[in-house]
Structure 1
């Protein structure tokens, strides 16, 4: 996975299939939910086949455990795993998994929740821009057409909780639709920046800008479109995961 991040209005985004990144936290201790032997193997470094086996085993174990437990504290610990242990724990387990696998899908869901909560202010603005473009998005994602920052955070928790406690495929489709709206918002922002840059370059317009101003606007627009393209791929990965889950082929 690439570690080079691009800054954008919606936060820090990795230029890779996962689309999301974290804002940097100290390397955490292993999560209490992991089997000790598995955790030691991860920490010690294993070959790709062993790592793949571990990532799939932990993903299925975690999902199965939460689906069958009646203990609300267990559910809460799993949903807030990144908050307490750091996203690096999930990265060690699942970041190298293929996007059409259960660990690969869970990796994207956890990062989506982290990103939504940390960038809730800018994401709320992007949603309000993009929601009119994406038909029925609010109904599918379960969020208002003009959400507050708190609405974004609640939706982030609700999507991940739905994956563990409800219909997994529906949770993935909700997540994908949410991302679609953010993508639309980013593209609208980019269009506005390019239009502004064009106006600054027109000597007949009152908003004439310097060459540096024009270049900066175009650069920012390109970064936003790059972020939108990465997120579009993530949405496609999530929808593909939902399709595979319904066919009992998400492994």
Structure 2
């Protein structure tokens, strides 16, 4: 997978508040494990206040359910929620939530996992560019200085799983550290492209890197709010 697949407007990553919104994901014919009442609420959800309530309630219920179970099957179903439900349905639940809210943060965590697993090859290469030697970011994110595609996929699952079965704030800090390094890799790559005269490509990479940095700040702010007990 080349870095071109990560360019703004490529169809894989589009300009968004989250920096890595995947597009073109297939949506299953029927929803998997979502409460039918939630699905019904979305179907008639023109009222922003109703959608907001559903968004916050569903995020809190999902997190609470997994935190209070040791069942690995439940954890596995939550990790693959987007894979089973399709990104569109999850987007209707959480994508309109503010980044300083629980549903907004969960939306970004799920998108981060999808993005990492879809572009594991390109992201592994960008990590090696942005983090050529192990640093504090490597330790926080849980990635060494030369990750493989499989390492990136495992890290994607590990970060999201940590949000549900570990310390939520730590998971957000891992996500932030990870996106920081990938953003740095994009900036280094953009500099090389610019020097070679590929200014349009360089500009697209810089745009994606900038969006990633915003998302990283969202993750860190979310971690701070969680520790203060105000992330709702």
TM-score by length of 2: 0.93
d(CA) in 1 for partners of 2:145, 2:10: 18
String of CA shifts for 1:97-154, please: whole Å, max 9, x gaps. Answer: 0000000000000000000000000000000000148941111101111000000000
Bigger Rg, structure 1 or 2: 1
Aligned residue pairs: how many?
A: 228
d(CA) in 1 for partners of 2:51, 2:147: 40
d(CA) in 2 for partners of 1:105, 1:234: 9
d(CA) in 2 for partners of 1:177, 1:21: 19
From 204, 212, 220, give the equivalent of 1:223.
204
37-46 vs 89-98, which moves further: 37-46
The answer as to whether partners of 1:9 and 1:122 remain within 8 angstroms in 2 is: no
Task: State the shift of 1:89 in Å.
Answer: 1.8
185-194 vs 82-91, which moves further: 82-91
Aligned-CA RMSD value: 2.0
TM-score by length of 1: 0.86
Task: State the shift of 1:35 in Å.
Answer: 2.1
d(CA) in 1 for partners of 2:26, 2:163: 27
**2:16 alignment partner in structure 1:** 16
240-249 vs 82-91, which moves further: 82-91
Q: 1:11 to 1:175 in 2, by over 3 A?
A: farther
Is 2:96 the counterpart of 1:96? yes
**2:179 alignment partner in structure 1:** 179
From 219, 223, 228, give the equivalent of 1:242.
223
d(CA) in 1 for partners of 2:213, 2:30: 32
26-35 vs 238-247, which moves further: 26-35
Structure 1: gaps of 5 or more residues? 198-216
Q: 1:150 to 1:8 in 2, by over 3 A?
A: farther
42-51 vs 100-109, which moves further: 42-51
Task: State the shift of 1:12 in Å.
Answer: 2.5
Q: 1:128 to 1:185 in 2, by over 3 A?
A: same
The answer as to whether partners of 1:13 and 1:20 remain within 8 angstroms in 2 is: yes
Task: State the shift of 1:185 in Å.
Answer: 0.2
Structure 2: gaps of 5 or more residues? none
**2:154 alignment partner in structure 1:** 154
d(CA) in 2 for partners of 1:230, 1:107: 15
Q: Note the 1:64-143 alignment, pairs <5 A.
A: 64-132=64-132, 135-143=135-143
